[in-house]
């Protein structure tokens, strides 16, 4: 049973990496989608708000993005100004706890 669980976890790593990479690429290629957001701060390119590291080599930005995710930093919210995604998730957990 332990071998099965380990194998399934190891098989999920490439899928998770693909999803994270796709999210990174979409953040860089979707300026038109950002213009439709209601929050004016969300319309700015993500690197100016701290969602992504400052401009530089794309591979360095990707590595920084992976490092931030590995440390639990999900970045700023695109919808709520001056609020991080971590704060929104924490608020949701506090509201459902008894």
pLDDT one-digit tens code per residue, 10-65? 999 999 999 999 988 888 887 655 555 545 555 555 555 555 445 678 888 899 88
Angle, helix 2-29 to helix 58-70, in steps of 10 degrees: 130
Higher pLDDT, 98 or 87: 87
Please state the pTM of the whole predicted model. 0.62
Containing structural domain, residue 21: 2-96
For the CA atoms of 72, 13, 57, 47, the dihedral, rounded to the nearest 10 degrees, stands at -40
In the DSSP assignment, the letter for residue 72 is T
Q: What is the pLDDT of residue 32?
A: 55
How far is CA 96 from each of CA 1, 46, 77, 83, rounded to the nearest angstrom? 33, 31, 21, 20
Is the confidence at residue 85, as pLDDT, over 80?
Answer: yes
Cα(72)–Cα(89) distance, integer angstroms: 12
Which residues are registered as beta bridge partners of 97? none
Distance CA 42, CA 32 (A): 12
Look at 19 and 96; give whichever has higher pLDDT: 19
Number of domains in the chain: 1
């Amino acid at each position: 049973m332990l071998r099965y669980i380990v194998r399934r976890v190891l098989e999920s790593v490439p899928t998770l990496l693909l999803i994270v990479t796709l999210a990174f690429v979409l953040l860089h290629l979707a300026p038109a989608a950002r213009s439709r957001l209601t929050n004016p701060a969300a319309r700015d390119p993500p690197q100016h708000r701290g969602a992504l590291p400052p401009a530089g080599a794309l591979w360095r930005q990707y590595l920084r993005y992976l490092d931030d995710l590995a440390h639990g930093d999900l970045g700023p919210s695109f919808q709520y100004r001056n609020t991080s995604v971590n704060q929104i998730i924490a608020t949701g957990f506090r509201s459902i706890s008894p």
